[in-house]
Amino acid sequence: MTKREIIKTLLAKQLPERVGLHEHFWPYICENAWQRQGIAPGTDFVQRFNLDLRSVAWYSTPAPRPDLAKVAEESDEWVVKRDGWGTSLKTWKFKAGTPEHVDFTVTSPDAWRREFRDAFEAIDVRKSFDFATIKQNYTKAMAGEEFVTYSGLFVFEEMRRIMGDVAMLESLLLEPEWIHDFNTLVTRKCMQYFEYLFREVGLPDGIHMYEDLGYTASCFASPEAHRALVLPYHKKLFGMFKDYKLPIIMHTCGDFRPHLDSIVEAGVDCIQALEAKTGMNVVKLAEQYKDKLCFMGNIDIRALESGDRDRIREECLGKLNGMKALRAPYIYMSDHSIPPSVSLADYEFMLQLFWQNCHY
């Protein structure tokens, strides 16, 4: 079977000849660590590590106020940038990590309606993305044997990114009409983008959407709030993807277990990345959901960071063999992304364990 066929089979909740293989890597991993270990910046990790999936397009909601964008503050190590939503984030120049939230402008229904809503609604997504480059990347990727995805953020992640966590969480309880209005427009714009992408570039093998629904201890929103204010928009967008017969992978950080039934109801085929530090174990989840979901991830980064080969072997083979014993659809990867603190040799040792034990 080709890599494309293996992933298609797994996302259909069936078993191919082997477990799938994927990975994310933190940006600057080469510059921070792996360049000294023999990996050049710009290396195609999908090819270098023989991975099964490749993304060729990325969507995030375009900003309506480019006049607000500017560099607010900068040092040799970091920069604070304000974007066209009036959001200021601090990022590091030579290392990866979650940006520091500095300031937000879209923090109330009044600010949304007064300064952003009309301008956002007027955006033409056809003019907001480099579709010519996407087409080139798509054509090249589809000629290969990897499973090709289009990727992007959706409503929950966009609320966090544009409103900030505090305003978003308060508004989920106190301003549900605003949340519905915001999510309706974000969903409409997202659907316009993907419809245009499908028509002008072509259909991928599947979709990979990002929605960080939780943190280490729990979900950000209650199951009731999720069902009322997020699930309807998941159903709408994901329903469109299903009309094109495209399987859906959804990434979420944190402990999202209270939302699993809603995630299945929305039409998601695979859940990723299953952070082990939240208490999730992919084998235990698969005992309940293996007929409803494919699983991707859950190999504990902390084991890889330890450099202890016995600990790495126990973590990797425990979950890999556990999923095989359950006959559960599984795509093997870390529980988020490989950071510079994991040595290249230990990552390659993990891959060696995979290839020696990957067949169902």
Give the model confidence (pLDDT) of 62-76 as tens digits: 999 999 999 999 999
pLDDT score at 95: 83
pLDDT score at 98: 83
Give the model confidence (pLDDT) of 13-50 as tens digits: 999 999 999 999 998 899 889 999 999 999 999 999 99
* Structural domains of the chain ordered from first start: 3-62+123-357 (3.20.20.210)
pLDDT score at 182: 98
Mean pLDDT confidence for 237-243 = 98
Mean pLDDT confidence for 325-335 = 98
d(CA 57, CA 150): 5
d(CA 89, CA 78): 10
- Alpha carbon distances (Å) from 60 to 26, 82, 108, 124, 209: 19, 16, 21, 14, 10
Give the model confidence (pLDDT) of 147-160 as tens digits: 999 999 999 999 99
pLDDT score at 359: 98
Q: Note the Cα 325 to chain centre separation in Å.
A: 27
Mean pLDDT confidence for 320-333 = 98
pLDDT score at 96: 79
Overall pTM surpassing 0.85 (yes/no) = yes
Mean pLDDT confidence for 211-239 = 97
d(CA 91, CA 110): 29
Q: What percent of the chain has pLDDT over 90?
A: 97
pLDDT score at 234: 98
Q: How confident is the model at residue 94 (pLDDT cuts 50, 70, 90)?
A: confident
Residue 7 CB coordination number (10 Å) = 30
Mean pLDDT confidence for 227-252 = 98
Q: How confident is the model at residue 260 (pLDDT cuts 50, 70, 90)?
A: very high
- Alpha carbon distances (Å) from 339 to 233, 316, 330: 33, 17, 22
Q: Note the Cα 235 to chain centre separation in Å.
A: 18
- Alpha carbon distances (Å) from 14 to 42, 158, 273, 293, 337: 35, 32, 20, 10, 26
Give the model confidence (pLDDT) of 117-147 as tens digits: 999 999 999 999 999 999 999 999 999 999 9
pLDDT score at 262: 98
Q: What percent of the chain has pLDDT over 70?
A: 100
The residues near 151 (Cβ < 8 Å, ≥ 6 apart) are 55, 57, 58, 59, 207, 208, 209, 210
Long-range contacts formed by 104-113: CB under 8 A, 24+ apart: 104/162, 104/163, 104/164, 104/167, 105/68, 106/162, 106/163, 106/167, 107/163, 107/164, 107/166, 107/167, 108/167, 108/175, 108/178, 109/171, 109/175, 109/177, 109/178, 109/181, 112/178, 112/181, 112/182
Among 130, 155, 135, residue whose Cα is nearest residue 61: 155
Least confident of 52-61, 95-104, 175-184, 289-298: 95-104
pLDDT score at 97: 81
Joined tokens for residue 278: 């939240």
Average pLDDT, rounded, for the chain: 97
